[in-house]
Amino acid sequence: MTTTHAHAPTLSDCLDLDRYPVDRLDSPEGKALIDTCRRQLADDGCVVLADFVRPDMLRRLEAETERLSPDAHINATETNPYNSAADPALPPEHPKNRFDDRTNGFVAGDRIGADTIIRTIYHDPAFKAFIAAVVGEDEIHEYADPLADLVVNVLKEGRQHPWHFDSNDFIVTMQTRKPEGGGVFQYAPNIRGPQGENIEGVQRLLDGDHAALKTLELTPGDLQIFFGRNALHRVTPVVGPRERHTVIFAYAREPGFVGRPERAKAIFGRMAPIHEEMLTRDIVRSDSLAD
């Protein structure tokens, strides 16, 4: 009897390259795609490419994250928008002293095999060149962090990712499983930036003023490119027993990026040897914004 093994997919197996010619960026269609994405990012810091994955691959994509989800470390804690400690010198209503439950889970990159759809996409040179072009870089680099390079975010019933800013400038995600209800992505674009933290604006949003808030209804196979460093954002609690799964493709502008050891411990429940080594060195961010 002959045993058939599923082959490692190629980019053309995975993505709708007719609709999204990420492998032909110098073509008129490729240039038009980049221009469209850049305009959307300039408008509000977010672009969504609907049905980025080929329809015939969606079930396999969902099955991948279903299989991986039991490996998620559930990070149940309280956090403020800056993922920092409280500041007793500030008033209770200050955003640094406003905490909410963070109850999501993360599957670390070292649990994700090389033969998966999501690793195929993550490592593909054409895909990386496309993301670089969209975010305005000549080149982007895969994380050197073995835990945080490629991650599956898992939200179970009643769980959420509360208001926060990202520690990296941009994030690339793909939803692979949609819950029965809730799990909605909401964001306030450019609420802070080089001009400063805009504490007053952040506080107004936390107090319930959602005038600047935008909401996205994502579906499996959609690709999202998001400038989350300056946008306050959240994922609302999941309703129903069906989990919400989202893949995070982590890239950096400079080579060799590794997440902070304390973040690795909190998010994945453990550190890799490279994080242990980092504990002996001082880490300095390239901007002055709070993490």
For the chain, domains (ranges, CATH) are 11-278 (2.60.120.620)
- Give how far Cα 193 sits from Cα of 37, 159, 276, Å: 21, 29, 32
CA distances from 276 to 28, 46, 82 (A): 47, 34, 23
User: Could you tell me if 191 and 136 are in contact, meaning their C-beta atoms sit under 8 angstroms apart?
Assistant: no
- Please state, as a whole number, how many other Cβ atoms lie within 10 Å of the Cβ of residue 204: 16
> Both tokens of residue 199?
């504490």
- Collapsing DSSP to helix, strand or coil, 147 comes out as coil
What's the pLDDT tens digit per position in 2-49?
A: 333 457 799 999 999 999 999 999 999 999 999 999 999 999 999 999
Residues in contact with 92: Cβ distance below 8 Å, sequence separation at least 6, in sequence order: none
Please report how the helices 28-44 and 125-134 are oriented relative to each other, as an axis angle in degrees rounded to 10.
50
| CB-count exposure of residue 65 (10 Å: 0-12, 13-18, 19+) | buried
Q: Which residue has the tokens 């880490």?
A: 283
The pLDDT of residue 113 is above 80: yes
Q: What is the mean pLDDT of residues 82-99?
A: 96
Beta strands in 110-231 (DSSP E): 141-142, 150-155, 161-164, 171-177, 181-182, 185-188, 214-216, 223-226
Identify the band that residue 290 occupies on the pLDDT scale cut at 50, 70 and 90: low
